[in-house]
Chain A
């Protein structure tokens, strides 16, 4: 990004046009309208911003000319998000070139953020940008199982992901009672597609499934036994010894595969407790009959079944790290998501990343970015300085790091506070995963993040104040335009 001192004013009725040699992709009309609205919202707030005063504008920008080489239509693991943006001195044209429609989204977002007031007039500096993501997988986990999230909040969150150039919504959707309607899911996926966001659903098995029990039949969950060998009335993980349970999963995942068109499916596999399996005499008998000596072998059998289902559905898959760590045999194209944050049994995250990539698997980093763990004060810096490739490994291993995933697990969040707790803290992760490795100074990032938070407020996202302790730095105590939940922000998302 090269920015010069010269600048042009921006026309409030700025037009977006496709150049003659551009492809016309289906999401572009909506996209142009959205960014027209967003840019206008910035205009309103700019009146109150501090205004830099220097010189006269070199021109007046009234048109963004977009050239797209190729329409990909559906965002995917190999989606091309690169773009270049050129604001020439004196020209009324901004040129935005993108390999695919996703680059248009990213480029218009950058352009919208660049508008700032000079002499109280919305302006952009003469700028050249060449931009592309550092990591291909920039995910964010929402959890609609522990608390239900209203569709309006999920959509606002997807918009915010797009503004921050994330590209994956990892939807931890498992709980039966919180399954929304199929048409609503499809609506959300389409909403995400228009914003360049993939939706990867997670159906976590064989643990974390207690809520599946009531709906899935009497043999679905493992009956736990007490010390005297009697069923104690409680239920454990899915019972992996019954073929009907695999069939049930096949029916479920077949339907899931149709609804969620992304090539990836998250199969979960975290925190499988072995105690209940150990207590169950049918399982003991089954293991003996099948020459299994360890419970990870039993887990492997289940996961193997899931993997085969996924493959039969032509889906790639992501699993939580335990599936790998416990020695379950997984295919090479499996993506392993690092997650362990057990403070009582600390395991170096770089050890997991090292081991996963050494074995030739693709890896995602997640545990440093569990934003659900809140504390008093400012914490974005620690998310910002994490480096996913900071482990002992070869160049080849580092290439297997596909990126990372941020998480807002749902124990203490629902529609009341999801967006507030997530933003702007997740923006720190967004920059880590998109920008160059060297971009890691929290000091330089601080005023930029503050400006970005204020912009998100103007757009109607209730991003909370979490940038700096304002007893030490009172200048971070406000945004030019305060957020008011009674304002009408519709049209901005």
Chain B
């Protein structure tokens, strides 16, 4: 018996029944919104033993069995929660057009590895030509992932039965680079959390994990060729990622259509490299003509430091298969370089008159290494802004000017013919009280004074959860569902930018992520203003991992 029910029910029974049903309903919305989606009132019921089959002419891409297994599990989970998130008895199940028992998947071509050119498009047909069969056609395996994700989100319950409306979807991403930065230097992140994050990225159709793997706080990348870097630079021997573990993470991401782009940020942000990098690696800072015991950025005047980087990057190139490498290059403080007499002498000898030129010497070295390894690379905006000479294929990541001056930088970068990705407005680590997803949602990466040609150089964007105040305890909670706002911005059409209509859809999507076991926090709407946003039909239980579907 429910507490107080004997006393409260009675004449209020009808009212109460209304109240306990969701005042909003699962409509089967898809997040991020597909480019083209036509939904009709007609619906079909889902068979609990729904089969996934490849058409005979489709190539057998190696990740397909894993994808099918995952989505079979996810779809089955809907049967468990059907009773708690059911649409009101608006339709009768007997009016269903049929029972879906098969998803027929057609693939044109296997790409095997997700890349900058990965083809993620797909079409999905539910209800026609026959009600029993869903037809999913994808250019490559990535479209299969996205198509099955869309299909799974479309499931909603009618008369307590998982159902899908007759629908036509033609879908593709607006931007090819839809990234998310995690930072495993400031705080270590357990591998289980990194994997959960990758899974959530895939659900949100984001395709890049930008792994800011080392920084000044710690060096958790356990190199086999330079083991002293993590031996002396990690927080403890527990706080490292072995190459074996990293390869496992990259494979986990590949199975979900997510690229892993590692960042080895130099020459600044490198304090943790110091102990393992050797006595000449970091620049000794001087005060009053004497070394003061502190160290600055990497010392760019010694060849052995370039040799160390080449050794490291040669290994990194083998571990991280993505064709892109993030070379960092942000926030290089010049003070220590200025104080060091050896650097002054070197600059005089080599006719360097500015410290940006000295920075360029280093970055040029890194770019040359990347080039030799046949890697493309991303750099933070300072490398461009400071006038370091970079090759045309460099991608410049704009991260400054949250208040809006990022537009000028985007303009300048693309004007110079470089590819650009936008990060500035999407630093999700900067939290505040209340609801903030709308602010992320309305940002438009091409909203600067550029030509159509310049706009084409905008490859997308990257949201970030820097690690100052997050670790395995709270990172997933802080990221989701706020990052979903960025996900829709980067995938869906430019015109999909109104928080009003997005709000209900995002709420539904957050509730679905909860049901899948992702601890996405409540952050959609103040429930004091609208109590309907105060709950999800299926509450998340932090101590019940049984239904986790990662």
Q: Say whether A217 faces chain B, with CB atoms less than 8 Å apart.
A: yes
Query: Which B residue's beta carbon lies closest to that of A155?
Result: B543
Count of CB-CB pairs between chains A and B under 8 Å: 199
Chain B residues near A152: list those with CB within 8 A: 541-544
Check B433 against A48 for contact (C-beta < 8 Å).
no
Segment at the interface with B among A129-137, A289-297, A315-323, A456-464: A456-464
- Residue among A156, A210, A485 with max Cβ neighbours from chain B (10 Å): A485
Find chain A residues with CB under 8 A from B472 CB.
Answer: 462, 482-485
Interface string of B1-19 (1 = CB under 8 A from A): 1111001110110011011
- Which residues of chain B from 509 to 550 have a CB within 8 Å of any chain A CB? 514, 519-523, 526-528, 531, 534-535, 539-545
Tell me, yes or no, whether B72 is within 8 Å of chain A by CB. no
- Does A416 contact B15, Cβ atoms closer than 8 Å? no
- For window 263-290 of chain B, which residues contact chain A by CB distance below 8 Å? 271-272
With A156-B543, A255-B4 known as contacts, the answer to whether A420 contacts B522 (CB < 8 A) is no
Q: Decide: B541 and A415 in contact? CB cutoff 8 A.
A: yes
Q: Is A414 among interface residues, defined by CB-CB distance under 8 A?
A: yes
Kindly state the separation between the CA atoms of A152 and B539 in the bound complex, as whole angstroms.
12
A410 to B526, CA, bound (A): 10
For B520, the chain A residues whose CB sits under 8 A away are: 416
**Set of chain A residues within 8 Å of B104, measured between Cβ atoms:** none
Contact present for B218 and A478 (CB under 8 Å) = yes
Indicate which residue in A181, A214, A375, A416 contacts B3 across the interface (CB closer than 8 Å). A181
B338-366 with Cβ < 8 A to chain A: none
Interface: A471 (CB within 8 A): yes
Kindly identify, within residues 426 to 484 of chain A, every residue whose CB is under 8 Å from any CB belonging to chain B. Answer: 457, 462-466, 469-471, 474, 477-478, 480-484
Once the chains bind, are B186 and A470 in contact (CB under 8 Å)?
yes
A32 to chain B, nearest CB (A): 23
Which chain A residues lie closer than 8 Å to B1 at the CB level?
Answer: 181-182
B468 at the A/B interface (Cβ < 8 Å)? Answer: yes
A215 B9 Cβ-Cβ under 8 A: yes
**B405 part of interface (Cβ distance < 8 Å):** no
The closest CB in chain B to the CB of A461 belongs to B473
Q: Give Cα A179–Cα B433 distance, bound, in whole angstroms.
A: 27
Contacts of B470 in A (CB 8 A): 464-465
Min C-beta distance of B332 to chain A, whole Å: 16
Closest to B185 in A: A477
Known contacts A150-B541, A420-B477, A478-B188; is-contact A216 B471 (Cβ 8 Å)? no
**For the complex, is B302 an interface residue (Cβ under 8 Å from A)?**
no
Q: Which residues from chain A contact B19 at a C-beta distance below 8 Å?
A: 176-177, 214-215
Chain B interface residue number, banded: 35 or more
Instruction: Say yes or no: is B192 at the interface (Cβ < 8 Å to chain A).
Output: yes
The docked-state distance in angstroms from the alpha carbon of A198 to that of B531 is 29
- Complexed CA–CA distance, A464 and B476 (Å): 12
Q: Is the CB of B9 within 8 A of A416?
A: no
Given the interface contacts A152-B542, A185-B3, A215-B16, does A147 sit within 8 Å of B534 by beta carbon? yes
* A148 in contact (CB, < 8 A): yes
Confirm or deny: A374 has a beta carbon within 8 angstroms of a beta carbon on chain B. Answer: yes
Which of chain B's residues has its CB closest to A378's CB? B469
Q: Which residue of B lies closest to A460 (CB)?
A: B543
Identity of the chain A residue whose Cβ is nearest the Cβ of B544 in the assembled complex: A152
Complex contact B235–A477 (CB within 8 A): yes
A232, CB-defined interface residue at 8 Å? no
Q: Which residue of B lies closest to A489 (CB)?
A: B543
Residue of B nearest to A149 (CB): B539
| Interchain CB contact under 8 A, A417 and B474 | yes
CB contacts under 8 Å to A, within B206-226, are 216-218
Given A150-B541, A152-B543, A416-B540, CB of A216 within 8 Å of CB of B519: no
* Interface membership of A211, Cβ < 8 A: yes
Q: What is the CA–CA distance of A412 and B510 in the complex, to the nearest angstrom? A: 13
Q: Is the CB of B527 within 8 A of A480?
A: no
When the two chains form their complex, are residues A146 and B528 in contact, meaning their CB atoms are under 8 A apart?
Answer: yes
Q: Is A153 part of the binding interface, using a Cβ–Cβ cutoff of 8 Å?
A: yes
Is B41 part of the contact surface with A, judged by Cβ < 8 Å? no
Contact A376 B473 (CB under 8 A): no
Q: Is there an interface contact between B4 and A179, defined as CB atoms closer than 8 Å? A: yes
Complex Cα–Cα for A463 and B471 (A): 10
Known: A147-B534, A150-B539, A215-B15. A477 touches B522 (CB 8 A): no
Task: Report whether B8 and A215 are in contact in the complex, using a CB–CB cutoff of 8 Å.
Answer: yes
Nearest A-chain residue to B8, judged by Cβ: A215
How far apart sit A376 and B544, CA to CA, in the bound complex (Å)? Answer: 29
Contact of A413 among B2, B272, B521 (CB under 8 A): B521
Q: How far is the CB of B10 from chain A (nearest CB, A)?
A: 9
A residues 195-212 with Cβ under 8 Å of B?
Answer: 210-211
Is B432 interfacial (CB-CB < 8 Å)? yes
Q: Which residue on chain B has the smallest CB distance to residue A490?
A: B543
A251 interface residue (CB < 8 Å to B)? yes
Tell me if B527 and A147 are in contact (CB < 8 A): yes
Query: Does A377 sit within 8 A of B, measured CB to CB?
Result: yes
Over the window 246-257 of chain A, the binary record of Cβ atoms lying under 8 Å from chain B Cβ atoms (1 yes, 0 no) is 000001100100
Q: Which of B190, B218, B272 contacts A483 (CB 8 A)?
A: B190
Q: How far is the CA of A338 from the CA of B527 in the complex (A)?
A: 24
Once A411-B527, A415-B540, A469-B468 are accepted as A-B contacts, the answer to whether A464 and B474 lie under 8 Å apart by CB is: yes
B542 adjacent to A177 (CB under 8 Å):
no
Q: Are B431 and A482 in contact (CB under 8 A)?
A: no
Residues on B with C-beta less than 8 A from A481 are 238
Q: With A48-B236, A179-B2, A414-B539 known to touch, is A457 a contact of B7 (CB < 8 Å)? A: no
Q: Please tell me if B187 contacts chain A, counting CB pairs below 8 Å.
A: yes
Contact among B12, B236, B430 with A480 in the assembled complex (CB-CB below 8 Å): B236
Contact status of A146 and B534, CB under 8 A, knowing A156-B543, A176-B8, A414-B522: yes
Indicate if A142 sits at the interface (CB-CB under 8 A).
no
Which of A176, A415, A463 touches B542 (beta carbons < 8 Å)? A415
Q: Is B239 an interface residue (CB 8 A)?
A: yes
> Which residue of B is nearest A259, CB measured?
B3
Collect the chain A residues with CB atoms within 8 Å of residue B237's CB: 48
B236 with A150: CB separation less than 8 A = no
A180 in contact (CB, < 8 A): yes
B513 to chain A: closest residue by CB: A416
Neighbour of B7 across the interface among A251, A259, A486, CB < 8 A = A251
Given contacts A214-B19, A482-B472, contact A374 B432 (CB under 8 A): yes
Complex alpha-carbon distance, A470 and B471, angstroms? 12
User: Contact: A252 with B2, CB < 8 Å?
Assistant: no
Interface string of B413-437 (1 = CB under 8 A from A): 0000000000000000111111100
Once the chains bind, are A153 and B190 in contact (CB under 8 Å)? no
Taken together as a complex, chains A and B put the C-alpha atoms of A251 and B4 apart, in Å, by 10
Q: Does the CB pair B217–A470 fall under 8 Å?
A: yes
Residue in contact with A417 in the complex, picked from B20, B236, B477, CB distance below 8 Å: B477
Contact A182 B3 (CB under 8 A): yes
Q: When chains A and B are docked, how far (Å) is the Cα of A179 from the Cα of B9?
A: 13
> In the complex, what residue of chain A is closest to B20 when comparing beta carbons?
A177
User: Are the CB atoms of B526 and A411 closer together than 8 Å?
Assistant: yes
> Does A224 count as interface, using CB distance less than 8 angstroms?
no
Q: How far is the CA of A146 from the CA of B529 in the complex (A)?
A: 11
20 A–B contacts, CB within 8 A, in A order: A48-B237, A153-B542, A177-B20, A215-B9, A251-B7, A374-B431, A375-B431, A411-B528, A415-B540, A416-B540, A417-B474, A421-B474, A464-B470, A464-B474, A465-B468, A471-B217, A474-B271, A477-B217, A478-B188, A486-B545
Residues of chain B at the chain A interface (Cβ within 8 Å)? 1-4, 7-9, 11-12, 15-16, 18-20, 186-188, 190, 192-193, 216-218, 235-239, 271-272, 429-435, 468-474, 477, 514, 519-523, 526-528, 531, 534-535, 539-545
Which A residues are closer than 8 A to B by beta carbons? 48, 146-148, 150, 152-153, 156, 176-177, 179-182, 185, 210-211, 214-217, 251-252, 255, 259, 372-378, 410-417, 419-421, 457, 462-466, 469-471, 474, 477-478, 480-486, 490
Query: Known pairs A215-B15, A417-B522, A465-B187. 18 more at Cβ < 8 A?
Result: A48-B237, A148-B539, A152-B543, A176-B4, A177-B19, A180-B3, A181-B2, A252-B7, A255-B4, A377-B469, A411-B527, A414-B521, A416-B519, A466-B469, A470-B217, A474-B217, A478-B236, A482-B239
- Which 6 A-B residue pairs are closest in the complex by CB-CB distance? A462-B473, A416-B519, A478-B235, A152-B543, A484-B190, A420-B474
